[in-house]
C-alpha cells in the first residue's frame, strides 16, 4: 500500500483495503515526565523536558524521509508571565483565563470563518474572547509532507463573562467550548485550559523546539513537563494525533480499544453530571469514531 503526501492528513487511517485493516493497528511510543518538588515554575523544567524528549527519539518513528515525524509534544503549566508579555492585549489574573493552541485552516478566509464560529460558540458558553495570538513557527526543519499538512497555529484566550471564574468551573466552560469547536467549526485544539498548555505536532523530537520558538524562550516557565514521542502504528501520523493530550499520554499497546470505544458509545445516552447539567450533551460523541 502506498501513501501519497496528500493523503496523510485526510484521516487518522486509510480505509480498509486489500490485506490492510485499521482495526488491527497497535501503539508503541515513548513518554517522560519532569517535575520539581518545590512547585516553583522555571524554564529549566521545560528545557529538561525537551531534553528527555530528545532522548526518546528512538521510541518515535519517521517516514521514508527522516524529517517526517510521527509526532512529538509537551504539556506544561500555563506560562502566565510569558503570555502576558506576548499576547498583545490585557489578561485577567493568572488562572482566571483559559488558553490553548488552535489548529486552524491555512487559507485566510477559512481561518476567519472558523474563528468567527468559535467566538459565537464562546459567547453561547458565557465566555468572553480576550483575543487571538499567532503562534510563531519555523518550518525550515520540516519535510515537504509535514509542511503540506501543517495547520495555522493561533492561541485563543477566553475568560468567563461577568464575575471572574477560575479552577474547575472555568475548565468546564472551556471544555464545552473546545468540544463544540471541534464538532461545529472543525477546529482541533491541542488543549484549552486555565492550568495547562500543550505544544505538539507531526514532528520529530528535535523538531518540536525548533518548530515552536516559544519553547526556547527563557520566559516559558513551568513546574511540570510531560513529553511524548509517537510511534504511530495505531493510527497514521497527523498534526492533531500527536501526543500528549490534555491530561495524559500513553506509550503502550491498547489491544482492547474497539471494545472500550463500543462500551463508551453505548453509555453516552445515560451520561449525567451535576457539574455539567444539560451541557453534558454538548460534548458527545466522547470517542472520535475515526480515531
- Unique residue bearing C-alpha cell 505544544: 199
Contact 242, 72 (CB under 8 A): yes
Angle at 144 between CA 140 and CA 150, to 5 degrees: 80
Is 29 among the residues known to form the active site? Answer: yes
Q: 72-77 and 188-189 as β-strands: parallel, antiparallel, unpaired? A: unpaired
Reading the block at residue 15, the C-alpha cell is 480505509
Pairing, β 127-134 against β 98-104: unpaired
Instruction: Say which DSSP state 202 is in.
Output: S
Half-sphere exposure of residue 199: CA atoms within 13 angstroms, side-chain side: 26
Count other C-beta atoms under 10 Å from residue 39's C-beta: 9
Query: CA–CA separation, 167 vs 14, rounded Å?
Result: 40
One of 29, 109, 176, 194 is an active-site residue; which one?
29
Residue 179 to residues 12, 13, 251: CA-CA distances in angstroms? 18, 22, 25
| Whole-angstrom Cα Rg for the chain | 19
Which amino acids are annotated catalytic? 29
Amino acid at each position: 500500500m502506498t501513501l501519497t503526501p496528500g493523503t496523510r492528513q485526510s484521516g487518522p487511517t486509510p480505509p480498509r483495503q486489500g490485506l490492510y485493516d485499521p482495526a488491527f493497528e497497535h501503539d508503541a511510543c515513548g513518554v517522560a515526565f519532569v517535575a520539581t518538588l518545590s512547585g516553583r515554575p522555571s524554564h529549566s523544567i521545560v528545557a529538561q523536558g525537551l531534553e528527555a524528549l530528545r532522548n526518546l527519539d528512538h521510541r518515535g518513528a519517521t517516514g521514508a524521509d527522516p524529517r517526517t515525524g510521527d509526532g512529538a509534544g509537551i504539556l506544561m503549566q500555563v506560562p502566565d508571565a510569558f503570555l502576558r508579555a506576548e499576547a498583545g492585549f490585557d489578561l485577567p489574573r493568572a488562572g482566571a483565563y483559559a488558553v490553548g493552541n488552535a489548529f486552524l485552516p491555512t487559507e485566510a478566509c477559512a481561518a476567519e470563518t472558523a474563528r468567527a464560529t468559535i467566538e459565537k460558540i464562546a459567547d453561547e458558553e458565557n465566555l468572553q474572547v480576550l483575543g487571538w495570538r499567532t503562534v510563531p513557527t519555523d518550518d525550515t526543519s520540516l519535510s515537504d509532507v509535514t509542511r503540506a499538512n501543517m495547520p495555522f497555529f493561533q492561541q485563543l484566550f477566553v475568560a468567563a463573562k461577568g464575575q471572574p471564574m477560575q479552577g474547575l468551573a472555568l475548565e468546564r466552560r472551556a471544555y464545552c467550548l473546545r468540544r463544540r469547536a471541534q464538532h461545529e467549526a472543525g477546529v482541533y485544539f491541542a488543549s484549552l485550559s486555565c492550568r495547562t498548555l500543550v505544544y505538539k505536532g507531526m514532528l520529530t523530537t528535535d523538531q518540536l523546539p525548533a518548530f515552536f520558538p516559544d519553547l526556547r524562550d527563557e520566559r516559558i516557565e513551568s513546574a511540570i513537563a510531560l513529553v511524548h514521542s509517537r510511534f504511530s502504528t495505531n493510527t497514521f501520523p497527523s498534526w492533531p494525533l500527536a501526543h500528549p493530550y490534555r491530561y495524559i499520554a500513553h506509550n503502550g499497546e491498547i489491544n482492547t480499544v474497539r471494545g472500550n470505544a463500543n462500551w463508551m458509545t453505548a453509555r453516552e445516552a445515560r451520561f449525567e453530571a451535576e457539574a455539567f447539567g444539560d451541557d453534558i450533551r454538548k460534548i458527545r460523541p466522547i470517542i472520535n469514531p475515526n480515531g
